Chain A
Amino acid sequence: MRKRWMAGGIALLATVVLAGAAFAAAGASRGSTVTLTLWHNYGTGGNAAATNNLVAAFEKENPSIKIKVISQPSANYFSLLQASGISHSGPDLAVMWTGLFDLKYEKLLVNLKPYFTAAEMAKINGLKWVAPNFNPAKGFLVMPLENQFYMGFYNKALFKKAGLSGPPKNWSQLYSACAKLKAAGVAAPIVYGADPQAIQSSPYPWYDMSYLMGAILSPAQFKGLYTGQVSWTSPAIVAQVSKWVALPKKGCTNSDVLTKTDILGAFAKGQAAMIIDGNWDAATLQKALGNKVAPFVPPFSDKPQQAVVQYSGDGFSLTSYSKHRKEGAAFLKFLTTPQASKIIAAAGLIPDILGSRSASSLTNQMLDFAAKQHMTPYPMIDNVTQSEVVTTGSKQLDDALGGNISALAALKSMKATLDALPAARKGPVYSG
């Protein structure tokens, strides 16, 4: 038995020595340039390219600051970020989502107001969605990187073949478009299925929900859903969601709405006429379909749809434990410059600076919905609804769309989830 203790002792000793060595190494590396760390969860797409190019341009202008960019797994990213706060091994700058997400991590983030001039802040699009209690007077927690859209896409060639001149604008136009498309041989007028290309294989109902709710509530009324003053089971909402879950029965979709895989590919191959998705797939679709593809606002409305979901979806934050706040803030301020906008647009994104245009014609058409057709911009509803309700809804709304339960049953369980939350999570002051 003594051997065992000795072995344990040696292992412990070795560990202590190693740990000591590591501390010494950490202390020794102090130079004149400041090195910051930036974490993102952007994988290998356009956002990652934009981030790398922004950092390169910033370092060129500020030779005394270096930024080390680290790509983190997107699954579990926020758990990791929170855990790294505990161990102080986290980054100085980190990708952060907006709306209730940044409020949830508010304690980990620095309020950026003191570092920005009023003129710089005035340039930021949708500043309220990154502000504490969604009130920009209280400052803001995230410098948004890009302006995002939840968006429908339709195939103009298929529409023409079916004798349709433009995309549908309300429910009844949608039904007749579905019938005409079916008659013209399009098996799936709107294609639903596993979230396009995502690793988790279930549809994400919140793109559609944003438009379903946008048709009957004003952006300000979304707060009622948060506090419970507007009940998830109120008749208008039940009616909207019931119409949506009836789409498969109306012949508007493919039959396997929950499980069809690679639906983006199906749309790209011209097997489907419409898809509800987001601006991040615009480049892929344009590559596959050229000028046959165009965006449209999902017409889930009795009156012509006037809502467009246009929202500063993600950006960068400065962490509260960062020892280089000034330098980190300098990078975030850099994002408001025209030079940064150019870099962001070149990566296929829309800079979140008021009045920005994009490099892609498809994306510019999306910007025109609010800018030229005077539609009302809405936030992504899943960013301003409690995450527990979003999780319940993701499962239950899917289940309803699949025809297993009624719309009312799905909404009831969302209401139950909201009811079970503590008062502070649905009070007058927004809390993540």
Chain B
Amino acid sequence: MLENNATIVLAIPVAILLPLGVALLINSHVRGWRVFRSVFFLPTAVSWVVIGFVAVRFFANDGILHDLLTRVGLGFIHPDALSHERSALIAVMITFVWSMFGTNLIIFLAGMATIDQEIYDAAKVDGASAFGVMFRITIPLLKRFVQFTFVITLITAFTALFSLIFVMTGGGPGFGTTTLEFFIYQDGFAQSYFGLGATAGVVLFVAVFAVSMLQLRLLRVDD
């Protein structure tokens, strides 16, 4: 089960990099960027149950994903992602990345707002390319914001993901998508073995404590 937790952690970089990329696009202040900024955050207000419910209909064998693939002539791929342990976990991870997109995007946009326009102007004078500016200036200056999104995404992955798993796969097929916190929910809470749930919670707390120590180093808020 912890193995599944560990795999899900692999989704975190994606959940950070994708919004970072889109934030860079929006930050180029194309016309209507404010609208995009608002729209991209809206799904954050939708409950996990609905997100999971829609995601199932997206990934189902005769779902929208297959529909899209068929239309572009890739129908033979036929992913049927939720039927197999590995791919079901990947489908859950993709949905998770999707649900974190708005929050992380806003954080990056906030970060980009802190960067002085003069730095960009100076870079332009020096003849830096757009990509050069992005990699040499913008991203290094966003370091703290990247860390912040990391914390938020990690917390969500550890504490809120279970609702998504509940609706999308019920922890299956097999135990393919059963994470420790889903186990806590199912055996400790849903089956009313409250003591067991609390014990498993302690185990998770210890695991998380170790990660937190690491995080504190990463975050080092005090300078």
Contact = CB atoms under 8 A, between A and B. Distances in A.
Contacts of A404: 83-85, 173-174
A261 B49 contact: no
Contacts of B80: 255-256, 258-259
Nearest to B57: A261
A395 B166 CA distance: 12
Given A201-B168, A258-B82, A399 B56 contact: no
Contacts of A201: 52-53, 56, 82, 167-170
B111 interface: no
Interface string B46-72: 000100110011011111000000000
Interface in A390-406: 391, 394-396, 398-399, 402, 404-405
Interface residues of B, number: 35
B172 A399 contact: yes
A41 interface: no
Contact of A387 (B81, B82, B175, B191): B191
Given A82-B192, A394-B172, A396-B174, A402 B84 contact: yes
Interface in A248-283: 255-261
A46 B84 CA distance: 36
Contact of A395 (B49, B63, B170): B170
Contacts of B81: 259
Contacts, number: 92
Nearest to A258: B83
B19 interface: no
A128 interface: no
B211 interface: no
B102 interface: no
Contacts of A104: 192
B166 A259 contact: no
B4 interface: no
Contacts of B189: 76, 79
Given A199-B49, A259-B59, A399 B186 contact: no
A388 B60 CA distance: 28
Interface in B111-129: none
A402 B167 contact: no
A395 B175 contact: yes
A395 B173 contact: yes
A398 B56 CA distance: 16
Contact of A200 (B63, B85, B167): B167
Contacts of A391: 186-187, 191
Interface of A: 76, 78-79, 82, 104, 194, 199-202, 255-261, 387-388, 391, 394-396, 398-399, 402, 404-405
20 contacts: A82-B192, A82-B194, A194-B60, A201-B170, A256-B60, A256-B61, A257-B83, A259-B56, A259-B81, A259-B83, A261-B56, A391-B191, A394-B170, A395-B172, A395-B174, A399-B85, A399-B176, A402-B84, A404-B83, A404-B174
